[in-house]
Every structure is written in C-alpha cells, then in structure tokens.
Amino acid sequence: MQPVKPAAARVVNCPTCGKPVEWVADNRYRPFCSARCKGVDLGAWATEQYRVEASGEPKPEDPSE
C-alpha cells in the first residue's frame, strides 16, 4: 500500500496586486500576499472605496413603541 500524499496547496491571486498566493494555514495574510496588500484593502474599505449595496430601504422606527 502506498502512503497518501497531501493535496497540493490551492493557489489564489492576491485581490490587491494579483500575485499568486498559496491558500495554506501558514499564510497569516491570506487571501493577500503580504501585510501591505492587506492594509491597502483595509484602507479602501475605510475610505468607502468599496461598498456593500443595501438590500432595501430601512424601515422607519415605530414611534408608538
């Protein structure tokens, strides 16, 4: 019986710079390639360059409650 080989690490592209990144537990920045790319992405969210669209208008609060 042959020993079982571990599966090859999945490779994804860094969302910031596009560099190939192995999707492994040892990569503390995944899906990013580095702390710099992770920080660039966080900064984009903080400055509202990225937005999540709302699903609808918020309901007004009921003043009788």
Is residue 62 domain-resident? Answer: no
Q: Which domain holds residue 25?
A: 10-44
Report phi then psi at 13, rounded to 5. -95, 140
Write the DSSP symbol of residue 33.
Answer: S
- C-alpha–C-alpha distance, residues 59 and 65, integer Å: 14
pTM greater than 0.75 = no
What's the CATH code of the domain at 29? 3.30.50.10
Q: pLDDT digits over 34-51, tens only?
A: 999 999 999 999 999 988
Please report which confidence band the pLDDT of residue 3 belongs to, taking 50, 70 and 90 as the band edges. Answer: confident
Residue 7 has what pLDDT?
75
SS3 43: helix
For 11-35, how does the pLDDT look when each residue is reduced to its tens digit (9 = 90+)? 999 999 999 999 999 999 999 999 9
Q: How confident is the model at residue 65 (pLDDT cuts 50, 70, 90)?
A: low
